[in-house]
Structure 1
Amino acid sequence: MDGHTRIDGGPRTAVVVGAGIVGLSTAWFLQERGIEVTVVDRDGVAAGASWGNAGWLSPGLAIPLNEPSVLRYGLRALLDPKAPLHVPTTVDVGLWRFLLQFAANCRWGAWERAARANLPFNAECLEAFDILTSGGVTVPTISAPITALFESPRQATGLLKELKRITAAGGEITYRGLTGDELAEAAPQASSRINAGVRLEGQRFIDPGAFVCALADSVRERGGVVRSGFDVDAVRPRGHAVTLETRSGELISGDVVVLATGAWLNRLARSGGVRVPVRAGRGYSFTVPTDEPVPGPVYLPDVRVACTPYRGALRVAGTMEFRSPDAPLDRDRIRAIIDSARDLLRGVRWNERTDEWVGPRPVTPDGMPLIGATTAPGVYVAGGHGMWGLTQGPITGRLLAEQIATGKQPEALRPVDPLR
């Protein structure tokens, strides 16, 4: 035994790169296994996709993006600058290569593989949140159904088909249709144009920024270190340790390193043999006051807009924009969300909006995340969850911590091996 391993053979120390929900969850569960952790981030806690998302903990809607209908929709969306899916005109060869790979995976066989790969994460994701909140994370999760709204029962058929396919693949989802008084009670913001709804039971929501900040506080209280302003430039495995080097030349080492850098994952993971590309599918959000209280999350599937109770108001989130993760916010995308949702919701004071935000969600072309060991000794990755990083972040951290501590790959991580 050497100074870098415990008596059980596992590592003593770990450095996690990325202070979002995935990185901090991994750090927390590594602490559960007796490993000392340091978390570093270029910008700070919840600085990326973890802050301004819709805040849904929604295993019932964690459906792979690469459904065949998305390809048809995407081709039409390329011609509509206001469409929820937005690909700006660009000469980025890497982006177009990624989109071609994504298109190749928009077939039922690939979708079913992704759906089955995601099932263990969806089945255990809420339990992982419960472990965090019972173990010291002070921001609660809130149980509430998600209500999907439609202008007609016919329009609801697309979502119902998706839910049936997930159920057929082994998922457990409880849902039912809503009309009339039930619909008005579940979604008082629904306008007169809404005549049908689908209610998904067993879902939850949180204030995502507050939760991730509380998770960072819990990591610190348990003896961990969380550092901002640490912009990693290189990952160097050396003997029994892994050293990170910043652009300024600062060094930090651990027995193992976890790369949980979201949409920036490929820059550091390529040296570990990770070849599956990750691109930024940027989402936008803002907060608006409402005339009546919002009882629970509302989904507008036809325009791809998610709405959530947020600090006494309504957080509105939407868009999948393929652009550089560091590009500035495009207010045309905010206006496109408002234009698409305005006639479907009532009592929403759109012109009083605050907290306009954009964040880069890490998307893979095959609809599956990248979680596990790389070819570089002691280097692991965790990312590529697309729109479901918040829902699946804690269970990802729990499973990866098990692999790191024991040296054995959990069965649930085999389909999402980053070297696939």
Structure 2
Amino acid sequence: MTDSDDSVRQSEPLAESRHVVVIGGGVVGIACAHYLNLGGFRVTVVDKSRIGSGCSHGNCGYISPSHALPLAEPGALTKTFKAMLKPNSPMRIRPGLNVSLWKWLLKFSLRCNANDCNQSGRAIHPLLTSAMQLYEELVDSFHLNCEWTRQGLMFVYENQSAFDSYASTDELLRRDFNEPAKRFTKAELLDFEPSLREHVVGAWYFEHDAHLRPDRLLESWRDSLLERGVEFVEQQALTGINEQDGAADRVLLSSQTIDADEFVIATGAWTPQLEKILRYQIPIQPGKGYSVTMPRPQVCPETPMIFPEHKVAVTPWQSELRLGSMMEFIGFDSRIDPKRLRLLTEVARRYLKSELPTEFSETWCGWRPMTYDSTPVIDRCPSFSNVYIAAGHNMLGLSMAPATGKLIGEMISGKPTHLAVEPYRADRF
């Protein structure tokens, strides 16, 4: 058994008397609670709704080291503007009088160059590769029932020039991040994945990526933490933090207070709404996404896939199929637009042979916590000596959660961190 296995299996008794409150019960907050519990801390997780009900619930479940590159890449602005001219574009931006969104968009645009793209990639990729290894250990050691599968991830194309142009991205990922993709010709692709229609021209296949069911991961992980003594408080929003001599000693919630020694803010897209409480601004914008979940069709893909030309993702599970897409910068609009759901199914039918079910198990929308450099904040909050922030994971919260949780556990324990934390500093903006 390796040292890493020892750390996964056993909690340390060293910090038993210290209490940590984690605000936010999504996958990042749960991961923080997990590693803090292993470090011997008493842990309480607080959520304003239900544990695991936010963005962690309805995503497509990818664990993807291949997603090392940020959204702000060379050519991203041109692609975005062209896409937005289409009536059914997956991208929608409605800044209006939202000054913070205008500032965010400006800073995003300034990073659409090769140097900043590579800088962000070098920050993103270590979290992804660390989390992949940690997931393998977590699922095995804690028997998390989440349909974990190392089936890879395919980028499937129907346009030859778009397919060929991805070769430059493959070269970059291969050279700088050791994330090579297999190039499938049309014949190879249809042989590998016969669920696809014959008009597709090829695919790029990242065979080392994985996927899981995020809702079942959160349920199973929560149950594991409950058995290990972690406490959960639901339906309680953070309304204030009591401070003594530069340190927080109590959180004020909707109808109760909790005293603790350390605090973690893992509130995803909602983090900017805590600016007055934290006395610090994190430039996160909510990026709205949609998904639909349905029973598995008769001829179902076995491999998760993305259709890059239409920005739609497909994830097969044991009994269901999920389609996900869209990036809408329109604030916290909780309405589920039927046109967006219809777009998901229309694109999927364009690529998949089988007739898709017309009845859905679930329709969903949620908000991704988007930073303009595609990199999360994992750091102590500058305005408090004992409050930590773990937020801004963009579309990769599930993929980055274990590595983030482990870093937070190491920071609060005062241990050397397993990754360099400089790229995730709160004061970099």
TM over 0.5: yes
In structure 2, the residue corresponding to 1:386 is in which secondary structure?
coil
Change (3 A) 1:400 1:384: same
The answer on 1:32 being equivalent to 2:16 is no
Q: Map residues 262-277 of structure 1 onto 2, 5 A cutoff.
A: 262-269=268-275, 271-272=277-278, 274-277=280-283
Q: 2:360 aligns with which of 350, 353, 356?
A: 353
Q: Report the Cα distance in structure 2 between the residues aligned to 1:163 and 1:304, rounded to whole angstroms.
A: 18
Q: Percent identity?
A: 28
Q: Report the Cα distance in structure 2 between the residues aligned to 1:90 and 1:394, rounded to whole angstroms.
A: 37
The answer on 1:128 being equivalent to 2:101 is no
- Which residue does 1:97 correspond to in 2? 103
The answer on 1:41 being equivalent to 2:84 is no
The answer on 1:261 being equivalent to 2:270 is no
Q: Report the Cα distance in structure 1 between the residues aligned to 2:357 and 2:101, rounded to whole angstroms.
A: 33
In structure 1, the residue corresponding to 2:203 is in which secondary structure?
strand
Q: 1:407: how far off? A: 6.0
In structure 2, the residue corresponding to 1:236 is in which secondary structure?
strand
Q: Report the Cα distance in structure 2 between the residues aligned to 1:22 and 1:54, rounded to whole angstroms.
A: 16
The answer on 1:340 being equivalent to 2:342 is no
Q: Report the Cα distance in structure 1 between the residues aligned to 2:15 and 2:230, rounded to whole angstroms.
A: 21
Q: 2:389 aligns with which of 367, 381, 385?
A: 381
8 Å contact kept, 2:16–2:42? no
The answer on 1:224 being equivalent to 2:230 is yes
Q: 1:203: how far off? A: 1.1
- Which residue does 2:8 correspond to in 1? none
Q: 1:8: how far off? A: 6.5
| Between 375-384 and 186-195, the greater mean CA deviation after superposition | 186-195
Q: Report the Cα distance in structure 1 between the residues aligned to 2:427 and 2:327, rounded to whole angstroms.
A: 26
Q: 1:77 aligns with which of 57, 79, 83?
A: 83
Q: Report the Cα distance in structure 2 between the residues aligned to 1:340 and 1:165, rounded to whole angstroms.
A: 28
Q: Report the Cα distance in structure 2 between the residues aligned to 1:113 and 1:245, rounded to whole angstroms.
A: 38
8 Å contact kept, 2:68–2:125? no
Q: Report the Cα distance in structure 2 between the residues aligned to 1:78 and 1:52, rounded to whole angstroms.
A: 24
| Between 281-290 and 376-385, the greater mean CA deviation after superposition | 281-290
Q: Map residues 180-219 of structure 1 onto 2, 5 A cutoff.
A: 180-219=186-225
CA deviation vs aligned residue, 1:234-261 (integer Å, no higher than 9, x gap): 223335653111234x211211110000
Code of the residue aligned with 1:332 in structure 2: it is: K
CA deviation vs aligned residue, 1:167-221 (integer Å, no higher than 9, x gap): 333x121321112443123322211221211111111110111001111111111
Gaps of 5+ in 2: 1-11
| Between 410-419 and 215-224, the greater mean CA deviation after superposition | 410-419
Code of the residue aligned with 1:393 in structure 2: it is: A
Q: Report the Cα distance in structure 2 between the residues aligned to 1:74 and 1:118, rounded to whole angstroms.
A: 22
8 Å contact kept, 2:271–2:282? no
The answer on 1:305 being equivalent to 2:312 is yes
Code of the residue aligned with 1:419 in structure 2: it is: D
In structure 2, the residue corresponding to 1:14 is in which secondary structure?
strand
8 Å contact kept, 2:156–2:203? yes
CA deviation vs aligned residue, 1:7-63 (integer Å, no higher than 9, x gap): 978971100011111000010001111111000101111111101101111111242
Change (3 A) 1:182 1:225: same
Change (3 A) 1:80 1:27: same
Q: How many residues align?
A: 413
Q: 1:247 aligns with which of 220, 230, 254?
A: 254
Change (3 A) 1:67 1:206: same
8 Å contact kept, 1:189–1:348? no
| Between 265-274 and 25-34, the greater mean CA deviation after superposition | 265-274
Cα-Cα RMSD: 2.2
TM-score, length basis structure 1:
0.92
In structure 1, the residue corresponding to 2:379 is in which secondary structure?
strand
Q: Report the Cα distance in structure 2 between the residues aligned to 1:183 and 1:166, rounded to whole angstroms.
A: 21
Q: Report the Cα distance in structure 1 between the residues aligned to 2:65 and 2:251, rounded to whole angstroms.
A: 35
- Which residue does 2:426 correspond to in 1? 418
Q: 1:87: how far off? A: 1.5
Q: 1:395 aligns with which of 366, 382, 403?
A: 403
- Which residue does 1:3 correspond to in 2? none
TM-score, length basis structure 2:
0.90
CA deviation vs aligned residue, 1:333-380 (integer Å, no higher than 9, x gap): 212223334322221415333311111111001121111111212100
Q: Report the Cα distance in structure 1 between the residues aligned to 2:38 and 2:333, rounded to whole angstroms.
A: 34
Q: Report the Cα distance in structure 1 between the residues aligned to 2:241 and 2:174, rounded to whole angstroms.
A: 41
The answer on 1:325 being equivalent to 2:306 is no
Q: Report the Cα distance in structure 1 between the residues aligned to 2:174 and 2:243, rounded to whole angstroms.
A: 43
8 Å contact kept, 2:158–2:200? yes
